[in-house]
Amino acid sequence: MIQNSFGRRRMQLLRMDQLTRRRQPTPAREVETDLFTHCQACGKSSAKKQWQEGLECCPSCGRHTRISAALRISQIMDEGAVSIDQAAEFVDPLTFPGYEEKWLAAAENSGADEAIHFVRGSIEGSPVIFGAMDPQFLMGSMGKIVGDRVVSAFDKAAEYNLPVVIVACSGGARMQEGIISLMQMRRTAEAVTRHRQAGRLFVSVLSDPTTGGVTASFAMLGDIILAEPDALIGFAGPRVIKETIQCDLPVGFQSAEFQVRHGFVDRIVERRNLRSELAQILRLHEKQPEGRQGPASAEDSAVNFVAESASMNFAETGATEIVAIPDANFSDDGASDLSVSAISDSAAEGPVLAEETDRKPTPYERVMLARDPKRKKPAAILQELCTDIVELKGDRCYGDDPALRGGLARLNGKPITYIYIEKGSNLNSQIYHNFGMPEPEGYRKAARLMKQAERFNRPILTIIDTPGAYPGVGAEERGQGEAIASNLSLMSCLSVPLISVITGEAGSGGALAIACSDRLYMLENAVYTILSPEGFATILWKDGKRAEEAAEVMKLTAADMLEYGVCDRVFPDDLSGLKEQLAADLDIPDFAADPENPAIVRRGEYELRKSL
């Protein structure tokens, strides 16, 4: 029986062997082994598909990795972009040993012919010259070919009258080319300067890393400077600094966030939002934006609007004519049970106060209404008036002042530069915004934005609610007085329209530093003062308790400003009529109010108040 069992088993194995020999062998399948990418920042590995979907940013921690110029161009540009670079031919000005072999190896490994590549095309329909540096080619270092391409790109921008966007990613000057590499800093800076002097836009995007001679030349000369999160940005590298000073560096030193705090970068933009952010910035600088837009001809432009109005000529000084304001009836804003009288107009006799229905607030009560924490803030007013708001930060010198904010927006479809002062809405935000008291870096940021507006022929809107400039030791050390004086001087020679709206307090030189305007408007319960009533009483009478009496003699209300010719028009606190007035000021035909409306201040009915 045992022998039979073994016999049957032997026969089964023999049959199995015969069947196996007849079957064709299965071909080996190629198994992809490189399925995951490891993040050096968080130490986690994620599927390559997830990295690709996230534009080469870590799916776990969001770390933005370095990418090639070709990939960057494909992420940002519309289809159909064409290269404008000449083919690179190796140059070796120092006959540096081994340089040619290294250059050829970099070209082979990266698939690029140099460390920067430029194309002409569009971003969401907006035409542009776009360049991207390639960290895979000798760490994006700048030698003569890179310098040539940057200069050539700005020349092409002049030829086609286009803006330029460059994404920087570089270790700096190329050591193998010595002094020739250093000279590219000068050449590229000069090219950017010519471009900006011609009134064309340059947007610089700083990615990780942007250091050395690239940082110290074209990369930091953008009209607008964006940065990817946590990018290393600086002149000297952290290793050089650490070895020089023999000290550990603080956490976050030279990061993009560090540069924003110190005033050198406008905005940090994640890679997934970079294309849309650039498109919005380009649209805000287009001569003829889509949809509702301002005047199409040069004769109707903002610059000529200023030039053709004799009342806005700085050579012709004089007091402001006081204009009728029948719609500016003072209304209760919920902060007080006192009704406010209207300011009515008399073309022949000037402004007179209308008949009081009950009792109008006293000047000091107006001060309290202007200071009311529940009062509509400048940020909310800006959002009510404007669209497409893009905040820009930094004075390019020391820091960014959160008390004074500014940037780009559209007012009834017309691109403008906005500047406003932020007090904050609760204790924490009030502390963060320094209770609406700007420091020197805030005023210098305002000056930078005003100069930028001048270059691009954009009108300027300032919205003011501040007790005054910050009186602190640091502010004095950094030149508070000089910053304010420089702004007054700058505003005296701007050729673009500057319109100011006082919505709450406007305290002393701190308010005037952004209010030397062609038009000045006030809300009904706003005040404009040389000093706070408390400070006024303390200085003159040595008794701060006499603030209410001081407010009476100071003549600080909107009605007083209208009477003295400091203010052109007063609006209700609910902003009724303000948007229509601004549309009329900026000649926006699709939005301008009824030409027969007597409330609208017309361009021939006032003069710039330089002498006040």
Task: Enumerate the domain spans of the chain.
Answer: 37-65, 67-284, 298-605
pLDDT band at 77 (very low <50, low <70, confident <90, very high): very high
Single out the residue of 334, 328, 327, 312 nearest to residue 557, CA to CA: 328
**CB 336: neighbour CB atoms within 10 A?**
15
Q: Which of 391-395, 575-579, 604-608 has the highest mean pLDDT?
A: 391-395
Query: Span 560-570, mean pLDDT?
Result: 92
Query: Span 603-607, mean pLDDT?
Result: 44
For position 312, what pLDDT does the model report?
Answer: 31
Q: Look at residue 315 and tell me whether its pLDDT is greater than 90.
A: no
Determine the Cα–Cα distance for residues 306 and 515; give it in Å rounded to an integer.
17
For position 87, what pLDDT does the model report?
Answer: 94
* Ranges 5-14, 406-415, 491-500, 557-566: which has the least confidence: 5-14
Determine the Cα–Cα distance for residues 366 and 505; give it in Å rounded to an integer.
10
Q: Look at residue 327 and tell me whether its pLDDT is greater than 60.
A: no
Q: Which amino acid is at 486?
A: S
pLDDT band at 355 (very low <50, low <70, confident <90, very high): very low
CATH class as words, domain 67-284: alpha beta
Determine the Cα–Cα distance for residues 66 and 384; give it in Å rounded to an integer.
40
Distances (CA, A) of 485 to 221, 315, 443, 444, 559: 25, 20, 10, 11, 28
Tokens of 582: 């601004």
Q: Look at residue 465 and tell me whether its pLDDT is greater than 60.
A: yes
Report the share of the chain in percent with pLDDT over 90.
69
For position 480, what pLDDT does the model report?
Answer: 94
Q: Which of 10-14, 37-41, 604-608 has the highest mean pLDDT?
A: 37-41
The CATH code of domain 298-605 reads 3.90.226.10
Q: For strand 126-133 and strand 164-170, is the pairing parallel, antiparallel, or unpaired? A: parallel
What are the tens digits of pLDDT across the range 198-226?
999 999 999 999 999 999 999 999 999 99
**CB 203: neighbour CB atoms within 10 A?**
22
* Ranges 285-294, 411-420, 500-509: which has the least confidence: 285-294
Tokens of 235: 């002149």
pLDDT averaged over the chain?
Answer: 84
* Count of residues making up the chain: 612
For position 26, what pLDDT does the model report?
Answer: 65
Determine the Cα–Cα distance for residues 592 and 584; give it in Å rounded to an integer.
5
Looking at per-residue pLDDT, the higher value among 311 and 26 belongs to: 26
Is-contact 487 443, C-beta < 8 A?
Answer: yes
**Do 298-605 and 67-284 have the same topology in CATH?**
yes
Buried b (16+ CB within 10 A) or exposed e, 219-251: bbbbbbbbbbbbbbbbbebeeeeeeeeeeeeee
For position 599, what pLDDT does the model report?
Answer: 63
For the chain, the straight-line distance linking the first and the last C-alpha, in angstroms and rounded, comes to 126
Looking at per-residue pLDDT, the higher value among 586 and 270 belongs to: 270
SS (HEC) of 289-335: CCCCCCCCCHHHCHHHHHHHCHHHCCCCCCCCCCCCCCCCCCCCCCC
For position 432, what pLDDT does the model report?
Answer: 94
Determine the Cα–Cα distance for residues 184 and 174; give it in Å rounded to an integer.
10
Q: Look at residue 557 and tell me whether its pLDDT is greater than 60.
A: yes
Q: Look at residue 585 and tell me whether its pLDDT is greater than 60.
A: yes
Contacts of 491 (CB under 8 A, 6+ apart): 450, 498, 516, 517
pLDDT band at 353 (very low <50, low <70, confident <90, very high): very low
For position 544, what pLDDT does the model report?
Answer: 86
Q: Which amino acid is at 529?
A: T
**CB 411: neighbour CB atoms within 10 A?**
24
Q: For strand 414-421 and strand 460-466, is the pairing parallel, antiparallel, or unpaired? A: parallel
For position 246, what pLDDT does the model report?
Answer: 87
Reply yes or no: is the peptide bond before residue 229 cis, omega within 30 of 0: no
User: Which residues are bridge partners to 133 per DSSP?
Assistant: 116
